[in-house]
Structures are given as structure tokens and as C-alpha cells.
Amino acid sequence: LPTPFNSPFLILLLILFFQESYFLFFQQMYFVHYFIIVAYTFLPGLNMLFVAILFSFIVNIIIYFKFYFYYVLLFITGIYC
């Protein structure tokens, strides 16, 4: 795997990751901590910083999808109810 500082895609991921709100950042640190332990146990060759950034990015996408899904659900129920 490439290191986080020699790949344009990973630098873009870094920028997107640190633009997130600090609330989400601290909220997901709990998950990232355990994910790093699991990944380090089963996949010792991985770059842990890369894994943590990628995992946090995925968690952010899931969190935002839940929020948007909730608003769409409210909008639909507001129209039909």
C-alpha cells in the first residue's frame, strides 16, 4: 500500500477527513481505535494511518447517508400523511 503522503488520492482523503466536524471526529475515534487493533492483529502489514483515515472516511459517509435518509423519510411522510 502507498504511504499517505506520496499519493494524490490519499492526500485528497486527508483533506476531506480533516474538513469534517470535530464532533464527528471525536465520535468515531472510538470505532477507529478498535478497528486499528483488529486490523493490526489480522493484517500486520498494513499502513495503520491509511487504514484509520479510510475507515473514518467510510464512517463519515455512512453517518451522512443516515442523516439524508432520515430527512428524505420525513419529507415523504410529510407529503403523504
The reported pLDDT for the residue numbered 26 is 58
**pLDDT tens per residue, range 46-70:** 666 676 667 777 777 777 776 666 6
Q: What percent of the chain has pLDDT over 70?
A: 11
Q: Does any domain span residue 66? A: yes
Q: Does any domain span residue 2? A: no
Q: What domain range is 53 assigned to?
A: 8-80
The reported pLDDT for the residue numbered 54 is 73
The Cα 42–Cα 25 span in angstroms is 25
Q: Does any domain span residue 1? A: no
Structural domains in the chain (count): 1
**pLDDT tens per residue, range 12-54:** 666 666 655 555 655 666 666 666 666 666 666 666 667 666 7
Q: Does any domain span residue 3? A: no
Q: Does any domain span residue 76? A: yes
Q: Mean pLDDT over all residues of the chain?
A: 64
The Cα 34–Cα 21 span in angstroms is 21
